[in-house]
């Protein structure tokens, strides 16, 4: 009986271990926004466990009408946000999605995002892998001035 149970547990755990993706999602979170605000952002670190560069190429979430990859750039002393087609993660490297840098925009929120909630996002990578990530909604203090979209 014990051998049978051990075999069953091994059979259940093995596919989960093999389903591991090449990219680890580290400390993901979404920005809490006041009720009625239509946009928010998701931040995280993406760690590439393979020697080959991989890019985040798309993201989807049921909490927003549109989900886009964005970055910030300086334009004549003004910080501007712009959409990008991919966010690169070097082989065996890490890319930080953070306020003022790369981030995932949630546009046209379908619900309010309050601190303490959890939401789900699907991340699509250039190597064909996809990760479903459950992440908390947190308050984020931003000290950036001269922000323009």
Residue 10: predicted pLDDT? 55
Place of tokens 């323009």: 148
State how far the Cα of 86 lies from the Cα of 71, in Å rounded to an integer: 10
Residue 11: predicted pLDDT? 54
Residue 6: predicted pLDDT? 59
Residue 119: predicted pLDDT? 97
Tens digits of per-residue pLDDT, 19-45? 457 999 999 999 999 988 999 999 999
Residue 15: predicted pLDDT? 47
Q: Please count the residues of the chain.
A: 149
The set of residues, in sequence order, having a beta carbon less than 8 Å from that of 110 and lying 6+ positions away, is: 62, 63, 64, 65
If we measure between CA atoms, which residue out of 42, 24, 21, 25 comes closest to residue 33?
42
Q: pLDDT means per 10 residues in the chain (149 residues)? A: 58 50 94 93 96 96 97 85 95 95 96 94 96 93 49
Domains in the chain and their CATH numbers?
A: 22-140 (2.60.40.1890)
């Amino acid at each position: 009986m014990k051998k049978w149970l051990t075999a069953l547990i091994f059979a259940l755990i093995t596919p989960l271990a093999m389903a591991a993706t090449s990219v680890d999602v580290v400390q993901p979170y979404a920005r809490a926004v006041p009720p009625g605000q239509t946009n928010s952002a998701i931040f995280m670190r993406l760690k590439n466990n393979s020697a080959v560069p991989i890019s985040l190429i798309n993201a989807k979430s049921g909490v927003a009408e549109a989900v886009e990859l964005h970055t910030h750039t300086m334009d004549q002393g003004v910080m501007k946000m712009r959409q990008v087609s991919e966010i690169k993660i070097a082989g065996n490297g890490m890319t930080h999605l953070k306020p003022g840098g790369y981030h995932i925009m949630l546009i046209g929120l379908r619900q309010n995002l309050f601190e303490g909630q959890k939401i789900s996002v699907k991340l699509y990578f250039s190597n064909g892998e996809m990760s479903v990530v459950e992440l908390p909604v947190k308050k984020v203090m931003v000290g950036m001035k001269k922000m323009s979209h």
